């Protein structure tokens, strides 16, 4: 995140408006708390661990929005080309992995 924030070429196009150290620190804290709570024997603490760590991906959204704004400013009228076969393959593999994980979770005693 720091490399993206401090990129001189991107900052000439659009100034970065997020704090990489704050986002990274909050992400690490959420993941630590979630993982520690997830290892507890109490089902309530397990659920708390899941609820704390699951939305941690939202901390990457400001960085992604910044990247999108830089790309939009550099080439505002670039045509949308659609998905490549490789992207479809990755999507299919990802869905398969999620289904296997879901089946394993639901079949656990």
Report whether pLDDT(28) > 90.
yes
Give residue-wise pLDDT tens across range 38-49: 888 888 888 888
Residues 6+ apart with CB under 8 A from 4: 10, 16, 20, 63, 66, 67
* d(C-alpha 14, C-alpha 48), whole Å: 38
The predicted model gives 56-65 an average pLDDT of: 94
Q: Where does residue 63 rank: exposed (0-12), middle (13-18), buried (19+ CB within 10 A)? A: middle
For every residue of 75-107, DSSP letters joined together read: STTPPP----HHHHHHHHHHHHHHHHHHHHHHH
- Indicate the pLDDT class of residue 80, thresholds 50, 70 and 90: confident
Report whether pLDDT(108) > 90.
no
Q: Which residue has the higher pLDDT, 26 or 75?
A: 26
Per cent of the chain over pLDDT 90 is: 67
Structure confidence at residue 14 (pLDDT): 92
């Amino acid at each position: 995140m720091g490399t993206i924030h401090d990129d001189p070429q991107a900052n000439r196009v659009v100034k970065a408006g997020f704090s990489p150290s704050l986002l990274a620190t909050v992400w690490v804290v959420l993941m630590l708390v979630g993982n520690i709570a997830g290892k507890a024997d109490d089902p309530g603490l397990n659920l708390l661990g899941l609820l704390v760590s699951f939305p941690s991906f939202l901390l990457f959204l400001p960085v992604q929005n910044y990247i999108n704004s830089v790309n939009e400013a550099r080439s505002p009228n670039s045509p949308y080309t659609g998905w490549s076969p490789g992207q479809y393959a990755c999507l299919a593999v990802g869905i398969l992995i999620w289904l296997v994980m879901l089946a394993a979770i639901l079949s656990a005693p």
